[in-house]
């Protein structure tokens, strides 16, 4: 393991934290029904029931098996009711892994640093130029294939084109099975979903999901989740981009859908805005050495969030980012303080 906080409490935030989050007016009025969530079911499970925030009629339940708490390892969150958990910090590859040079050593170091810290999720897409090929080369060169949860996407129209693209992705990634295949930006989602369901049934993919990157698409993501059962939704969420709190995050939680957060640094722009700005005094309390760690703490503080995937090309940044997955979980009041500090500084 690389550097981490030995006092870490890698627990799922649990019902108390969830209710603290969803109960406050500042989070958004549509969350009020979720605040009536009750806990039931097997000991150790967190089961949420509530009224659909969209229509006030149908009820949803979500079961969240609580992962074992262990000291000194990165926090993990469940993938719905599967019993499988994912570490809260992963790595994105948009731009950062889209490189042509033969020297992959820094990207090998990024992935090794992620895995050494207890992380595993790497997210890519055929949209990201050479990124899938670079990830495939890195996994082969490092021998870390079995320790990485590989997520990629299908981003095209048409059944045959989708199949061809996903097969090309698997060749590029040098895998016979993808852990999570997502429909990128919901492109031709009905068509691609059928293939994903078939591939999941035959074991070519383990989980299926959908993604988007803008608040304007959140209603579309909710509409898909209402219509079909998916395993994971990937969405934009950051301390200065909080629209997902209104409906999407609570809805995913109620449905037992894992949430992967893209652009936790606003695509990098938010971090650039914050560079040279002094850290708030409470950063030390949270064992945060920089704004990047505070921004990640904010994102993973939301109990509906399973994993954040900051993109990076730098092993040093990866190590710093991974540290946000250690240390005591923070509550909503502290998350609000982070958002306020970001507002004041950015
Ligand atoms: N529609 C979709 O499905 C969709 C859309 C957008 C993104 N995504 C996924 O989500 C991932 C994350 O989003 P993103 O990469 O666009 O944006 P992001 O994670 O918000 O920001 C990435 C930027 O932050 C910088 N960075 C990372 N760690 C840092 C640190 N500790 N200190 C300073 N700078 C740091 C990176 O530069 P360095 O290389 O210098 O570290 C990079 O420029 C993507 O890579 C992609 O996998 C999916």
| pLDDT for 67 beyond 80 | no
Q: 346, 274 in Cβ contact below 8 A?
A: yes
If you average pLDDT over each of 14-23, 62-71, 168-177, which comes out highest?
Answer: 168-177
Residue ID of nearest Cα to ligand 1 atom 38? 312
Strands 85-87 and 76-78: antiparallel
Distance CA 53, CA 55 (A): 6
Residue ID of nearest Cα to ligand 1 atom 36? 312
pTM for the full model? 0.84
| pLDDT for 312 beyond 60 | yes
Q: Is the dihedral of CA 192, 198, 201, 202 positive or negative?
A: negative
Domains of the chain: residue spans and CATH: 14-345 (3.20.20.100)
State mean pLDDT over 7-30. Answer: 33
| pLDDT for 50 beyond 80 | no
Residue ID of nearest Cα to ligand 1 atom 41? 312
Distance CA 221, CA 112 (A): 33
pLDDT at 237: 98
Bigger pLDDT: 268 vs 3: 268
Ligand 1 neighbour 266 (Cβ under 6 A): yes
Q: Which two tokens mark 18?
A: 């969830």
Best of 311, 320, 346 for a ligand 1 pocket test (most atoms within 8 Å of beta carbon): 311
Q: What is the pLDDT of residues 110-121, one digit of tens each?
A: 999 999 999 999
State mean pLDDT over 288-314. Answer: 98
**Angle, alpha carbons 209-214-215 (nearest 5°):** 100
Q: Which two tokens mark 98?
A: 């889209």
Q: What is the pLDDT of residues 77-94, one digit of tens each?
A: 999 999 999 999 999 999
Q: Which two tokens mark 311?
A: 């993109």
Find the 23 Cα to ligand 1 centroid distance in Å: 31
Q: What is the pLDDT of residues 227-244, one digit of tens each?
A: 999 999 999 999 999 999
Bigger pLDDT: 145 vs 54: 145
Mean pLDDT of the chain: 84
For residue 159, the cross-strand partners are: none
């Amino acid at each position: 393991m690389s550097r981490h906080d030995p006092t870490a409490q890698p627990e799922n935030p649990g019902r108390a934290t969830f209710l603290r989050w969803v109960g406050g007016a500042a989070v958004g009025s549509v969350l009020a029904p979720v605040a009536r969530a009750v806990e039931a079911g097997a000991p150790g499970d967190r089961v949420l029931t509530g009224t659909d925030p969209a229509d006030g009629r149908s009820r949803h339940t979500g079961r969240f098996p609580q992962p074992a708490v262990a000291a000194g390892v990165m926090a993990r969150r469940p993938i719905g009711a599967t019993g499988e958990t994912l570490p809260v910090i992963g790595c994105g590859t948009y731009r950062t892994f889209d490189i042509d040079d033969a020297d992959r050593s820094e990207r090998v170091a990024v992935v090794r640093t992620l895995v050494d810290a207890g992380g595993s999720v790497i997210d890519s897409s055929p949209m990201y130029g050479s990124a899938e090929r670079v990830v495939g080369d890195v996994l082969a060169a490092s021998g870390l294939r079995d320790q990485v949860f590989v997520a990629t996407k299908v981003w095209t129209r048409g059944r045959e084109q989708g199949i061809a693209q996903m097969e090309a992705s698997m060749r590029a990634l040098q895998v016979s099975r993808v852990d999570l295949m997502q429909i990128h930006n919901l492109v031709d989602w009905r068509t691609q979903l059928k293939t994903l369901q078939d591939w999941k049934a035959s074991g070519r993919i383990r989980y299926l999901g959908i993604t988007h990157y803008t608040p304007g698409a959140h209603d579309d993501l909710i509409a898909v989740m209402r219509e079909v059962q998916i395993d994971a939704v990937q969405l934009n969420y950051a301390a200065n981009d909080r629209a997902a709190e209104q409906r999407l995050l609570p809805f995913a939680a109620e449905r037992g859908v894992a949430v992967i957060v893209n652009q936790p640094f606003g695509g990098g722009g938010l971090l650039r805005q914050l560079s040279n700005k002094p850290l708030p005094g409470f950063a030390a309390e949270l064992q945060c050495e920089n704004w990047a760690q505070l921004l990640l703490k904010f994102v993973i503080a939301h109990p509906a969030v399973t994993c954040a995937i900051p993109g990076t090309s730098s092993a040093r940044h990866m190590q710093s980012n991974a540290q946000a997955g250690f240390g005591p979980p923070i509550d909503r009041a502290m998350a609000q303080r982070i958002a306020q500090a970001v507002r004041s500084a950015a």
